[in-house]
Amino acid sequence: MKKPELLAPAGDLEKLKFAIHYGADAVYIGGKQFGLRAKAGNFDYKDMKEGVDFANSYGSKVYVAANIIAHNDDLSGVEPFFEQLADIGVHAVIIADPSLIRVCQRVAPELEIHLSTQASVTNWRSVLFWKQQGIERVVLAREVSMKEIEKIKENVDVEIETFIHGAMCISYSGRCVLSNHMTDRDANRGGCAQSCRWKYDLFEDGKDDTNVSETNELAYTMSSKDLSMVEHIPELIENGVDSLKIEGRMKSIHYLATVVNVYRKIIDTYMKDPVHFSIDQEWIDEIWKAAQRSLTTAFYYKDPSEEDQLFGKPERIPKYNFSGLVLDYDHQTQLATIQQRNPFKIGDDVEFFGPDFYRFQQKITWMIDENGNSIDIAKHPMMKVRVKVDKPVSYFNMMRKQR
């Protein structure tokens, strides 16, 4: 049984550090070009280098997503881009378009290539084809079931990566140009306007007087619940999946740290003692603290039904704020130095958490600002305060508060 890699998204350098510190074996990032998350912070070469150095110090890896479906004009600048990534020491690139695969293989053969989920690979023969093209790893389409993964692993000896958590396209990824048609934004080059999640009216038979949505007072939408495989990681491990991927380069640090922490814990617990493994309710509870939508296992066990989609008003999910980042801790005084990320005050019930599923509840009873003055509320963004805590904390630990 092979221990799979836990792969996390990192929208910027700070997120990269958190993801890795909280237990990601690898992170994927976007460069300034050729990636699909035009709106994420993304990395210039300097940040990329720092990220790679940071990852190396943990024995972790950095992958760069260059997963656009390119048009003719996008092709200039591809060669220096891959050359630069190789120089920086990036471990792999995630590519969807064969034109980019070719350039990368030519100018930076030392870069491993992972075929992006945007290519919608759904069967073992397609996986085999891409292996024959020199692809080291295939990221499967989200439509592939657990049984099909088993089949793929039986038939082809190549690394397989699957999504375990996060938001999902409701279409086959890459096979949707709603955004192009409705907003002139090219979805496959990072311009996706998420048109699938908009509200529509549905009509029958070309007749305008059959507004089914209006009659039934429910807008027609095509919005997927978010994927979560929190209760099914052992099965993916048993099937030999090489990399377990978390979606979300646009997600917050709090989301990232929380989700990575949980999956790290599950993988480690299972690998240590698969026989006595059972799901701990705390892991599931923890996942919900970062959840933004209701959750589903999507295509893994059945064809998704209306239960796996979002209609009407969203389900109420308790929301947590990232209140502060622990910068330092003094064992003598039991004082934690905290950088404020969202306001908190005396009397608040907060939760501290850190890597390896370390967590405890705390009431804020005493707090001083940088000048040593006692304060009631930490209201300024990024201000540093010292807070009395009952248990030791350390740099990178986080403090969250229910909204």
Partner 1 sequence: MTEIVSYARNLEEATQLVQVANVDAIICGEERFGLRSIGNVRFEEILKINHFLKLRSKKLYVLVNAIFHDERLKELKDYVDKLNDLPVDGIICGDPSIFTILQEKNIQIPIHWNPETLATNHETFKFWQDIGVTRAVLSNELSLEEIIDINQSLAIPIEVQVHGMTCIFQSKRKLVRNYYQKIDNDWNPEIVRYVKQAKTDHTHYPIFEDSNGTHIMSTEDVCMLRYLPQLLDNRINCLRIYNIFKTIDYNVQVSRVYKEAVEGYLADPNQFHQLIGGWEQQILSIQPAKRKLGTGFYFKEQIY
In the window 85-104, what residues touch partner 1 (CB under 8 A)?
96-99, 101-103
Residue 43 found at the interface with partner 1 (CB under 8 A): no
Task: Report the phi/psi class of residue 166: left, alpha or beta, with left for phi > 0 and alpha for psi in -120 to 50.
Answer: left
d(CA 33, CA 81): 8
Cβ(152)–Cβ(141) below 8 Å: no
Task: Report the phi/psi class of residue 59: left, alpha or beta, with left for phi > 0 and alpha for psi in -120 to 50.
Answer: left
Residue 174 found at the interface with partner 1 (CB under 8 A): yes
364-390 CB burial, b ≥16 within 10 A, e <16: beebeeeeeeebeebeeeeebbbbebe
Q: Which is nearer to partner 1, 131 or 345 (CB)?
A: 131
Q: How far is the CB of 12 from partner 1 (least distance, A)?
A: 20
- Subset of 128-167 contacting partner 1 (CB under 8 A): 128-130, 132, 141, 143-144, 147-148, 151
Choice from 41, 89, 191, 240 touching partner 1 (CB under 8 A): 191
CA atoms within 13 A on the CB side of 276: 3
Choice from 58, 77, 87, 200 touching partner 1 (CB under 8 A): 200
Choice from 180, 292, 294, 339 touching partner 1 (CB under 8 A): 180
Choice from 190, 248, 324, 355 touching partner 1 (CB under 8 A): 190
Residue 177 found at the interface with partner 1 (CB under 8 A): yes
Residue 211 found at the interface with partner 1 (CB under 8 A): yes
Cβ(15)–Cβ(24) below 8 Å: no
Question: Mask 50-69, x = binds partner 1 (CB under 8 A)?
Answer: -------------------x
Q: Which stretch binds partner 1 (CB under 8 A): 84-92, 118-126, 273-281, 385-393?
A: 118-126
Two structure tokens written together for 317: 């999910």
d(CA 43, CA 9): 13
Two structure tokens written together for 350: 């907060």
Q: Which is nearer to partner 1, 108 or 196 (CB)?
A: 196
Choice from 75, 317, 327, 346 touching partner 1 (CB under 8 A): 75
Residue 362 found at the interface with partner 1 (CB under 8 A): no
